[in-house]
């Protein structure tokens, strides 16, 4: 079969010449005479049909309506009646030639089609539940480097770079901070908060940076700007995004308090790790806005989030320039069996904070002793009650941290 003829079909023109040859060699051309039946309504046959020549009648038994499709017409550019189960009876109106393609083989070729293929995904959408289609769409865009990911706000990027440079003074950093009055005000408030307060109350961002130190300033600026990313356009997704932000703040606060009680882990970076551990959910919710059926089904949406967020979270944090230890917090935040050699890391901190938040009753807390992350954070400690003791002793600090994040 001539591959040029196949390129007339909207779906097949996304395939390369080699793929079209492979498709032609593994397909069958049906020759039909007037009145010959091709497909019955209700059928779940595993084929796609492309009208090469002639005319086909499509009869809808539900409405008893009939329409005729002519080869070469706009309607014939797409597969004939692709929905499954089939909703129409299909017969030849005249002598006709139809290309019968095995659906599984076609899908495999389409997955490898060069370039972005929105039309391909649209054509296949009828065959996929919306949660599966969202997975396919996100992975396709991720492979093609076209996935729309949240960007770290520019002021945070600039200040992080200036601090990492190591040659800029507190005054120089404060000039960059002051370009965003909201961030400057929050830094001053943080420096005067019970978490960092000294004997004197500060009034300028330069003074706040001196009290906080460069690294804490860097983590807090990032923390304060990240909230801007947790936004959505529809009321339903806004509610879900707000819930995500509340959860992230709570895990961040627990991470900060635990970081104060664990050797080798900076509590300020722990705070940021807790805040960013679910950042992979943000683009999923943005994509989900295009799938009304999915957003209206919380269970399906949660399953999709669980499948996608570790990979997307790691991609985002790598793109933002975070090191591998921070990237691991997004990848392993709910991997209760997460294992690595050496001392506890920030992923361990997030895991234990997450589990503590989930297992508030004492009977469930006992399960924590079996979690590798807990054993690394508290080597030699077999009683998870130590977590409850730490959080109880630091309840004022925990509340102060929450207030810092709400600011």
Residue-wise pLDDT tens digits, 3-51:
778 888 878 887 888 788 878 877 889 999 999 999 998 887 888 999 9
**pLDDT tens-digit readout, 247-263:** 999 999 999 999 998 88
Among 407, 406, 393, smallest CA distance to 257 is for 393
* Whether the predicted pLDDT of 371 surpasses 60: yes
Please tell me the pTM assigned to this model. 0.65
Sheet containing strand 28-32, edge to edge, reads 28-32, 96-102, 47-53
- Exposed, middle or buried by CB within 10 Å (0-12, 13-18, 19+), for 67? exposed
* Whether the predicted pLDDT of 236 surpasses 90: no
Among 289, 216, 285, 276, smallest CA distance to 247 is for 276
Q: What does the alpha-carbon distance between residue 251 and residue 352 come to, in Å, rounded to a whole number?
A: 10
**Residue indicated by tokens 């990911």:** 149
E strand or H helix at 39? strand 37-39
More confident residue, 170 or 384: 170
CATH code linked to domain 3-114: 2.60.120.10
Question: 37 near 72, Cβ under 8 Å?
Answer: no
* Whether the predicted pLDDT of 195 surpasses 70: yes
**pLDDT tens-digit readout, 73-124:** 888 888 898 877 888 999 999 999 999 988 777 877 777 765 544 445 554 4
The DSSP bridge pattern shows strands 96-102 and 28-32 to be antiparallel
Would residue 334 be called left, alpha or beta, if left means φ above 0 and alpha means ψ between -120 and 50 degrees?
alpha
CATH 2.60.120.10-classified regions of the chain:
3-114
CATH 1.10.3210.10-classified regions of the chain:
154-406
Identify the band that residue 221 occupies on the pLDDT scale cut at 50, 70 and 90.
very high
Cα-only R_g, the chain: 29
pLDDT at 362: 59
The superfamily (CATH) of domain 154-406 is Hypothetical protein af1432 (1.10.3210.10)
Question: 155 near 221, Cβ under 8 Å?
Answer: yes
Q: What does the alpha-carbon distance between residue 71 and residue 79 come to, in Å, rounded to a whole number?
A: 11
191: number of CA atoms within 13 Å, CB side? 24
- Exposed, middle or buried by CB within 10 Å (0-12, 13-18, 19+), for 167? exposed
pLDDT at 407: 65
More confident residue, 310 or 307: 310
- Output the DSSP codes for 11-34: TGGGS-HHHHHHHHHT-EEEEE-T
């Amino acid at each position: 079969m001539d591959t040029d003829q196949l390129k007339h079909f909207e779906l097949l023109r996304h395939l390369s010449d080699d793929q079209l040859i492979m498709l032609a060699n593994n397909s069958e051309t049906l020759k039909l005479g007037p009145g010959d039946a091709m497909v019955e309504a209700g059928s779940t046959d595993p084929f796609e049909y492309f009208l090469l020549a002639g005319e086909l009648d499509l009869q809808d038994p539900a409405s008893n309506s009939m329409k005729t499709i002519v080869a070469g017409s706009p309607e014939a550019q797409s597969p004939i009646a692709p929905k499954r189960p089939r909703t129409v009876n299909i017969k030849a109106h005249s002598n006709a030639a139809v290309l019968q393609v095995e659906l599984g083989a076609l899908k495999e070729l389409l997955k490898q089609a060069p370039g972005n293929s929105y039309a391909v995904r649209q054509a296949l959408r009828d065959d996929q539940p919306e949660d599966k289609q969202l997975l396919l769409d996100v992975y396709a865009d991720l492979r093609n480097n076209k996935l729309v990911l949240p960007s770290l706000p520019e002021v945070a990027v600039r200040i992080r770079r200036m601090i990492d440079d190591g040659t800029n003074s507190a005054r120089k950093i404060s000039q960059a901070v002051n370009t965003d009055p909201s961030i400057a005000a929050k830094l001053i408030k943080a420096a005067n908060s019970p978490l960092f307060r000294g004997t004197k109350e500060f009034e300028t961002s330069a003074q706040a940076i001196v009290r906080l130190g460069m690294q804490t300033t860097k983590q807090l600026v990032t923390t304060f700007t990240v909230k801007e990313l947790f936004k959505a356009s529809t009321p339903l997704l806004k509610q879900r995004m707000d819930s995500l932000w509340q959860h992230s703040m709570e895990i961040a606060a627990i991470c900060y308090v635990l970081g104060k009680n664990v050797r080798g882990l900076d509590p300020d970076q722990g705070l940021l790790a807790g805040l960013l551990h679910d950042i992979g959910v943000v683009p999923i919710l943005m994509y989900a806005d295009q799938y009304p059926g999915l957003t209206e089904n919380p269970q399906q949406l949660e399953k999709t989030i669980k499948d996608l967020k570790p990979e997307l979270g790691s991609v985002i944090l790598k793109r933002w320039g975070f090191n591998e230890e921070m990237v691991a917090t997004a990848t392993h935040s709910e991997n209760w069996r997460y294992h690595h050699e050496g001392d506890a890391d920030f992923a361990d901190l997030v895991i234990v904070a997450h589990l503590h938040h989930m297992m508030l009753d004492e009977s469930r807390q006992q399960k924590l002793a079996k979690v590798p992350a807990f054993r690394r954070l508290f080597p030699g400690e077999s009683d998870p009650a130590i977590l409850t003791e730490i959080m109880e002793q630091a309840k004022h600090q925990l509340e102060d941290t929450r207030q810092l994040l709400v600011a």
